[in-house]
Structures are given as C-alpha cells and as structure tokens.
Structure 1
Amino acid sequence: MSEQAQFTHFDASGNARMVDVSEKGETVRQAIAAGTVTLSRQAFDMVRKGSMKKGDVLGVARIAGIMAAKKVDQLIPLCHPLMITAADIVFSFDDQQCSIQIEATVSMTGRTGVEMEALTAVSVAALTIYDMCKAIDKSMVISDICLLRKSGGKSGLFVRPAVP
C-alpha cells in the first residue's frame, strides 16, 4: 500500500479530496472538547462579576461557540457539512490560575464524527473571550485545546487519558 493511500483525505495521485462517507452507517456520535483561557487577575475578576464593558462575556462566547460548531465545513477544508443535533458549552472558573475552562459537547446521528465541531466550538468560544476582554488584558493565553472524549462510529469510544 502506498503511503498516500493510508491518508483518507488524499486520492491515489496525492490530490486532496473529501472522504466519501455514503457507505458508512449512521450512528449516534458525540464529542467533548476542552480548552483554557488564562487572564490577568483584573480581567478574570471582571468576567466573573459580569462587569466587562462589552457585556456578558461568557454568554456571548457560548453563542459564538455554538454558532461555530454549526459552520465547521465552512472553516476547515474537507470537513463534511453536518446536521448536529445538540451543542452545549460550559464554563468553569479556576480562581488560583485566573483561568476559565471551556468544555463543548456536540452530538448528532450521522456517518461521520463531530470531533472537529467540538474543537472548533471551544476555539471560537476562547477567541470570543479574548476579543471581549482584550481592552483590559492583551496578554491572555488560550491553551490546552484538546479532545476529551468521542463516541460512535467505526472507531468507537475514545477517552483522553488523565494527565497526572
């Protein structure tokens, strides 16, 4: 088998292509992704208190992340347009680290997974937090965006191992 044949997004000639999923069976699929935004103490406290001048930072970031999950095929080449059936974003605060953890869960029944949708939701939610807080803190750090869990499809269940 040639090296190129091992990559599903390339044809035998090495040209990029969208993977044909028409023969795959539909299964219930879910992906959970996470990421972190670390802020200055001042910006963190303002987000937590809801006193950022641009408004409800986490409410806007939640909507932005959900909208992004619905548009992945327009952002990432070769991703299939998907009819996701659920998208949820949850935020939690780490007072010691002055950070906001973002967790996105995306679900659907279909022929291909929703990992990219969950990862994109986290990324855009984090970027939205940055955008809404940058007047106070331009030194924010977006980090640790990763897939935590995915289920469904031929490859089945994946759970990211815990990091000590």
Structure 2
Amino acid sequence: MEPTMNHFDREGNAIMVDVGGKEPTVRTATAEGLIRVSRPVLEAITGRTAAKGDMLGVARVAGIMAVKRTWELIPLCHPLALSHAAVDFEILEEQCAVRAECTVRLTGRTGVEMEALTGVTVALLTVYDMCKAMDKGMEITGVRLLYKEGGKSGVYHCV
C-alpha cells in the first residue's frame, strides 16, 4: 500500500492534519547536515578567533530557537509543547566541514521530524551568516532525517 498525502482534503485543499484522536506517545527525531567551509573559516571556528565570536555557540541557540518556532515557519505544522531540543556540532577536519545534529523530543500526538530538520538547517545557516565575510562559497549539504521513533509508524533509522 502506498502512503497517502494526508495534508489535503478530498477536494485537494491544504489542511492541517487532525491529530486529536491520537494517543500521546513519546516521540523523538534526530536530523543532521553539513556545512563545507574553507580552511581559514574552519580554523576561525575551531580557534574561536572569528570577529563575531563563538559561532557554534550562537548557531546552537539559533537552532534551538528555530525548533521552537517550526510551526510558524512550515504552514501545516502543529504548535508543539516540546520537552527537549539540542543541537550539537562535530568538526570534520579532513572534509573541512562542520556537521550539525539536532535532536527533539516530546510526549504528544504528532512527530517532531520537521522540528529536528528545521533546527539543524537554521544552525547551519547561522554558521554561514557568521562566516560569510570570510567565505561566501560555503556549501550546506546533506540535511536529512537520521532517526525517528514514536507514533504508529514506529521507528525509522537512516541506513
């Protein structure tokens, strides 16, 4: 059976999915993405020598703020009472990149995949914004859902 597009009514109009009849469950989602940068930018990030200060600290807060506002950015997302949101970074020296990972959790009637994807994307965009004076050729890539659990669709784990 093919999955259905549940954000449309019978006439094809966009709707917010009614989750009122669902039982609340613990739901978690983790997303990742990369930003490829020049060697001088990577050195400024790791050495905390950029003019704008602690770029990853600011990007972490920006990502968490974005998680909390996903429902305002993506038209058919529900406002959610989140219980956890975290953004972490890994420096990939050989790739001259920074990997961001965002994990979001709640107990509720709908998943948090969009929140995790939004958080990781905004965190990477913040790194770009804070470094663009040094390198406009940075590339954000590989934004994807790594893991989700909870709800009737069960566990998803990216291979």
The interval holding the TM-score normalised by the smaller chain is over 0.9
Q: In the alignment, does 2:122 pair up with 1:124? A: yes
Aligned partner of 2:11 in structure 1 is 13
Aligned partner of 2:20 in structure 1 is 22
Q: Calculate the TM-score normalised by the size of structure 2.
A: 0.97
- Runs of 4+ that moved beyond 4 A: none
Shift of 1:152: 0.4
Superposed CA offset, 1:19-67 (max 9, x none): 0000001000000000000000000100010011011100000000000
Q: Distance in 2 between the 1:153 and 1:139 partners?
A: 40
Q: Distance in 2 between the 1:90 and 1:12 partners?
A: 41
Q: Distance in 2 between the 1:92 and 1:9 partners?
A: 35
Q: Which amino acid aligns with 1:56?
A: D
Q: Which runs of 5+ in 1 are unaligned?
A: none
Aligned partner of 1:154 in structure 2 is 152
Question: 3-state SS of the aligned residue for 1:126?
Answer: helix
Q: Distance in 2 between the 1:59 and 1:52 partners?
A: 12
Shift of 1:6: 3.0
Residue among 30, 33, 46 paired with 2:31:
33
Q: Which runs of 5+ in 2 are unaligned?
A: none
Q: Calculate the TM-score normalised by the size of structure 1.
A: 0.94
- Matching of residues 79-158 of structure 1 within 5 Å: 79-158=77-156
Residue among 30, 40, 43 paired with 1:42:
40
Q: Which amino acid aligns with 2:132?
A: K
Identity over the aligned pairs, expressed in percent? 53
Shift of 1:7: 1.7
Shift of 1:90: 0.8
RMSD: 1.2
Question: 3-state SS of the aligned residue for 1:143?
Answer: strand
Shift of 1:13: 0.5
